[in-house]
């Protein structure tokens, strides 16, 4: 498998869009395990999607260099996972010159993720995150657009279904890049191949997710003999990071499309926020991210989660909660403290974490933690007990806005 750091698909176009206040937007985030309303296929088969309403955040992880388990380290302030779909990037379509057929191939890193699914995949699924396997060309002439026959497409679909079932995955993502059609005597893209492939895969995996990264020759080969790719796949999203572009996939509605795409390590946070604003304003169902690194990028992720869900992103390093954060303004706005671990904190002790006396207006609290706030130093005066994040101290009884001075975190 080739190195997957591809520059041509990561170029960013900075969008000059007005930033609209984060507090204006609030979308219901799916609860772990909830399924969306069925998406009808040509056979009217009900497909399980990931959430009941609101945009779904999707992330590709370059497993050649980054830990796929990182997907589970990010949550919203209320404890729900930030990412609805995590995609293992990527398995390959290779070509066997002896049999003149395409076959599914895993490099060492992808193999490690799949073989260690008890620690890399299943913990994410337990949180409600869907895990897909991306399928990518490998410069050998084989791709999703040049199967020479329906039988060949069916055979490859069977390999994909076997992988999904063997490793307990939630679906397949198609990416029509780096196939180098014509190499090794292979054919050029044809009109029927992709339609045959997704039709066969949908039959084999009627309740799994199939997605399409909108790029390459497949984008102009989405219908054949009256059957559309959009009637067989669940989602499609824009492939050019830092831009807004609506995938033209007949059969998919706005709820199943992602025009916004960001590269976490190179797209600016202002652009990420603007693209999230467009997603909300135009009622699109997907927000696509790429290149989740190994370090804590919760501040960057908050730039769009605040817009999509009205909540910041919390980093739970190592899979466990790291601490409480107090925020200067309501709705988790303004300056925030660093993460404060469990313990009892007077004002001077809190100030070491960036806390300011009589300043806090909201707080993010890891799931299962309790915070007792006091209006005076040394745990005296009026107190408030919180067992979950709170975005609005003025709404507490009595009003707790700009009065907190000491806290106990349990």
Does the active-site annotation cover 177?
Answer: yes
Query: How confident is the model at residue 54, as a pLDDT?
Result: 67
* CA 37 to chain CA centroid, nearest Å: 20
* Cβ contact 189:215 at 8 Å: no
Q: Which helix (H) or strand (E) holds 201?
A: helix 193-204
- Active-site residue identified among 34, 44, 159, 177: 177
One digit per residue, the tens of pLDDT, for the chain of length 410 reads: 333 333 333 333 333 333 333 333 334 344 333 333 333 333 333 333 343 346 999 999 999 999 999 999 998 877 789 999 999 999 999 999 999 999 999 999 999 999 999 889 998 998 899 999 999 999 999 999 999 999 999 999 999 999 999 999 999 999 999 999 999 999 999 999 999 999 999 999 999 999 999 999 999 999 999 999 999 999 999 999 999 999 999 999 999 999 999 999 999 999 999 999 999 999 999 999 999 999 999 989 999 999 999 888 888 875 445 689 898 998 888 888 888 888 899 999 899 788 999 999 999 888 788 999 999 999 999 999 999 889 899 999 999 999 999 999 99
Cβ of 366: how many Cβ atoms within 10 Å?
22
Cβ of 107: how many Cβ atoms within 10 Å?
16
Domain 22-314 has CATH 3.20.20.80: yes
* Cβ contact 132:86 at 8 Å: yes
Helices and strands per DSSP (H, E), number in the chain: 8, 21
Taking the C-alpha atoms of residue 23 and residue 17, their distance in angstroms, rounded to an integer, is 17
Same fold, 22-314 and 325-409: no
User: Residue ranges of the domains in the chain?
Assistant: 22-314, 325-409
User: What are the residues whose beta carbons fall under 8 Å from the beta carbon of 110, sequence distance 6 or more?
Assistant: 1, 63, 88, 90, 91, 133
Taking the C-alpha atoms of residue 74 and residue 53, their distance in angstroms, rounded to an integer, is 20
Fold of 325-409: Gamma-B Crystallin; domain 1 (2.60.20)
Query: How confident is the model at residue 397, as a pLDDT?
Result: 95
Query: How confident is the model at residue 40, as a pLDDT?
Result: 35
Taking the C-alpha atoms of residue 247 and residue 370, their distance in angstroms, rounded to an integer, is 44
Query: How confident is the model at residue 3, as a pLDDT?
Result: 38
Taking the C-alpha atoms of residue 183 and residue 239, their distance in angstroms, rounded to an integer, is 24
Provide Rg for the chain, Cα atoms: 23
Taking the C-alpha atoms of residue 17 and residue 13, their distance in angstroms, rounded to an integer, is 12
Query: How confident is the model at residue 322, as a pLDDT?
Result: 67
Please count the residues of the chain. Answer: 410
Query: How confident is the model at residue 368, as a pLDDT?
Result: 82
Query: How confident is the model at residue 321, as a pLDDT?
Result: 52
Taking the C-alpha atoms of residue 145 and residue 156, their distance in angstroms, rounded to an integer, is 12
Nearest Cα neighbor of 41 from 229, 249, 285 is: 229
């Amino acid at each position: 498998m080739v190195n997957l750091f591809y520059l041509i698909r990561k170029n960013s176009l900075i969008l000059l869009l007005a930033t609209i206040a984060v507090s204006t937007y609030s979308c219901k985030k799916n609860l772990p395990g909830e399924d969306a309303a069925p998406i009808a296929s040509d056979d009217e088969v009900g497909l399980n999607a990931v959430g009941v309403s609101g945009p779904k955040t999707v992330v590709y992880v370059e497993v050649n260099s980054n830990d796929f388990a990182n997907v589970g380290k990010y949550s919203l302030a209320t404890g729900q996972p930030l990412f609805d779909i995590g995609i293992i990037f990527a398995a390959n379509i290779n070509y066997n010159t002896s049999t003149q057929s395409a076959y599914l191939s895993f490099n060492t890193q992808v193999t490690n993720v799949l073989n260690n699914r008890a620690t890399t995949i299943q913990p994410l699924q337990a949180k409600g995150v869907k895990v897909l396997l991306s399928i990518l060309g490998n410069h050998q002439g084989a791709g999703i657009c040049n199967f020479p026959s329906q039988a060949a497409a069916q055979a490859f679909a069977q390999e994909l279904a076997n992988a999904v079932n063997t490793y307990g995955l939630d679906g397949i993502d198609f990416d029509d890049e780096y196939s180098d059609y014509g190499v090794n005597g292979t054919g050029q893209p044809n009109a029927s191949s992709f339609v045959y492939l997704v039709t066969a895969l949908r039959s084999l995996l009627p309740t799994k997710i199939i997605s399409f990264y909108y790029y390459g020759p497949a984008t102009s080969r989405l219908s054949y003999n009256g059957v559309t790719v959009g009637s067989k796949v669940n989602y499609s999203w824009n492939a050019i990071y830092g831009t807004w572009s609506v995938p033209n996939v007949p059969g998919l509605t706005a709820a199943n499309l992602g025009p916004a795409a960001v590269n976490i390590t190179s797209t600016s946070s202002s652009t990420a926020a603007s693209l999230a604003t467009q997603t909300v304003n135009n009622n699109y169902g997907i927000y696509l991210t790429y290149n989740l690194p190994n370090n804590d990028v919760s501040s960057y992720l908050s730039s769009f989660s605040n817009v999509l869900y009205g909540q910041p992103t919390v980093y739970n390093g190592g899979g466990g909660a790291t601490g409480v954060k107090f925020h200067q303004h309501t709705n988790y706005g303004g300056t925030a403290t660093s993460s404060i671990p469990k313990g009892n904190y007077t004002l001077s002790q809190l100030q070491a974490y960036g806390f300011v006396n009589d300043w806090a207006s909201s707080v993010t609290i890891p799931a299962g933690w309790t915070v007792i706030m006091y209006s005076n130093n040394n745990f005296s005066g009026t107190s408030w007990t919180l067992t979950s994040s709170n975005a609005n101290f003025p709404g507490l009884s009595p009003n707790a806005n700009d009065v907190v001075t000491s806290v106990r975190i349990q």
